[in-house]
Structure formats: structure tokens, C-alpha cells
Amino acid sequence: MKPQFDLHGKVALVTGASRGIGRQAALTFAEAGADVIVNYRSHADEAEEVAQHIRQEGRRAMVAQCDVADRAGMEAMFAKAAETMGTVDIVVANAAYSVRQPLLGMDWDGFRRTLEVTQYGVFHTCQLAAQQMVRQFHSGRVGGKILIISSVREMVPFENSGAYNMAKAGINHFGRTLATEMARARINVNIINPGWIDTPGERKYHTDEQLREAGAKLPWGRMGEPEDIGKAAVFLCSDAADYITGTMLLVDGGLLLSAGLDNSCAENE
């Protein structure tokens, strides 16, 4: 497939890239010409499989194991990425974690872990990315792209996802703040809010039949696929989006246009 947006000469780092949306973003970037750093926490075989696909595209791939909630580990990963790949031009903060429980009975450890990964992990990813890109800016390499994968849950308070909703709302406003501070260094910071996407995380809670039936009720007539987010990610991380920063792109197949939504909708783990 000929890429619509050319990323040749760019190096992209994607967190949570062994599965789901992160996996597809990494593969789509490679198809568009980028070399890719594949971050993962616990699915080593799947991360290596992603890297092999990237290499088959003729691109360089680096596999990097790290929990995004681990600040020291993230610092080490970014340092190694810059040393190994030479530069880091695109960073996608995708890794997330959630526990679906009513707030009244929510387990504190689950609540805390959700924020550590989904909110603090995005902070670590984006701050370290911005620091690396500013260093590159001062060395003569202009610009950089930071992309946050958020959720429609930052906009709609779906039940049983209090910690996740809270984290997603927080990272969206954080992303807009970072965009303001990074504009003079020509670092674009944008956000994608996926709707209900068919991912391994979603399949923890729904059967194939449930997903097919629910997808058919959405305005677009189907569930979202990781490919839908990957395409949007390539656009926002390409030169075609040079004048776009601090924006939120809704990729939900019209989910938020619907009335009377089932509260099980809208997960993008």
C-alpha cells in the first residue's frame, strides 16, 4: 500500500505497541516510511512480531520493554532510543490501563494503577518526548510530533470507569497545555479520542457476538478498528498536519452523535 503521508527519515516511538491501537499505529507508521521504537510492558512475543513486520517494510525497528508508569525506566528507554536510532521525531502516548468497577466499591489499587499508567504514564512519555525534541531543535532538527491517544470517555462519564474517565480527561487538558508550551519549538501536540474500538482490551468484557451486535447499532454500522486510529495518527504525525496543534480529533464513527447509548460503549484499550 502506498502511504498517503510520507514519514521517511522519521523515527517514531509508540508506547503500548505490542497490541491493539498501539500495534496498528506502529505498523502504519512503518508503512508510511518511519523507523519505529516498539514499546511494550508484558507481551514480548507480540512486540517482537510487530518489530518483524516493521523490518519487512524495510524500516528499522527497536523493541523496548518498559512500564510507562516507571519514571526511571522511561528515562532510560528514551536515552537508549536516541542513542540507537539517532533521533526521536514522533512519539505516541498510547499505553493505558483500566479497571471497570462502580466507584462506590472500586478497589484502591486498581484505581491507583489506572492513574499511574493512563495519566502519569502519559505525562512521563510526553515530557520526555518534548525534552528530547527540544534538544534536537536546538541542534538544528526542527519540529517534532507528540500524539496522545485518549478516549471519548474524557467527554462522557460512562459508568464503572471513574478512574479511566478521570485519567483521560486529565491527559487531554495536559496535552493542550503542552501544545501551548511547545509551539515555539515547532513541536505539534495533538490528541485522538477514539470511540468504541475492537481491541484485546475490549474483548476482556465482550464476546464476538456482543461486539457485532453493538457495532451494528452505531451510526457507521460497525465497530471501530485499530486501523481507523492508525490512519488518523499518521495524518497528525505527518507534515500534512504542520499547522495543527493542541487539537482533539474525534474518531468514533459517529458514536457521540447517537442518543441513548449503551454505557458499555467507548473503550479503546
Length in residues, the chain: 269
d(CA 93, CA 17): 10
Question: Which residue do the cell numbers 495518527 mark?
Answer: 233
* Residue in 150, 161, 168, 238 annotated catalytic: 168
Residue in 267, 152, 253, 99 with CA at minimum distance from that of residue 199? 267
* Residue in 40, 97, 120, 164 annotated catalytic: 164
User: Is 2 marked active-site?
Assistant: no
Neighbouring CB atoms inside 10 A of 69's CB total: 20
User: Is 151 marked active-site?
Assistant: yes
* Residue in 18, 98, 150, 151 annotated catalytic: 151
CB contact at 8 A, 188 and 143: yes
User: Is 205 marked active-site?
Assistant: no
Residues with catalytic roles: 151, 164, 168
